[in-house]
A and B are shown apart, each in its own frame.
Chain A
Amino acid sequence: QVQLVQSGAEVKKPGASVKVSCKASGYTFTSYYMHWVRQAPGQGLEWMGIINPNGGSTTYTQKFQGRVTMTRDTSTSTVYMDLSSLRSEDTAVYYCAAGGSTRLDHWGQGTLVTVSS
């Protein structure tokens, strides 16, 4: 069955960067796009962008353009989300989710990123 296992919780200072990983198993890695979604405490879901593991092309929402980088390593079936210039408003649970380009079929367990001085 499809499994997405994300890296552990992070605590970062304002201005730092964070890199969250998402290791996929149970399917052919290049068969699904990988999305990244975040959820601030007590808030709704916010889509950040998508990477196509087949080739590595990416699309980011305008809000995160210039601050987010999504990459993949096909040898380990892992995708990464790097977010820079962190501020307190970036405190959230970050999810990876595999699916088509238009929907999110399978979700990781989430990674809490806390930004605090």
Chain B
Amino acid sequence: SAVISQKPSRDICQRGTSLTIQCQVDSQVTMMFWYRQQPGQSLTLIATANQGSEATYESGFVIDKFPISRPNLTFSTLTVSNMSPEDSSIYLCSTDRGNTEAFFGQGTRLTVV
């Protein structure tokens, strides 16, 4: 299995500011994924991050709003930029082992006020 440490676990931010969420994996992984989960809802994929290349964003998500870094095979960050209350959500990073089970970070509960 893979262990993913995600931080911060929660934050309350002012609108117009940005927050960077970090995920550290205990082993090297090829793909990392960033999801958003509204309370009581399912997981929506934001983007897929490969090491050494630009992230691939899903429909409705853009790089200017959610820049992602993937500097090496064990680490990734997601920034939520110019936040508004609509960005309040839980953000989760995950990885998998060759398209088998996915391992998730503990999640970041973001509240924008």
Our verdict on whether A and B bind, yes or no, reads no
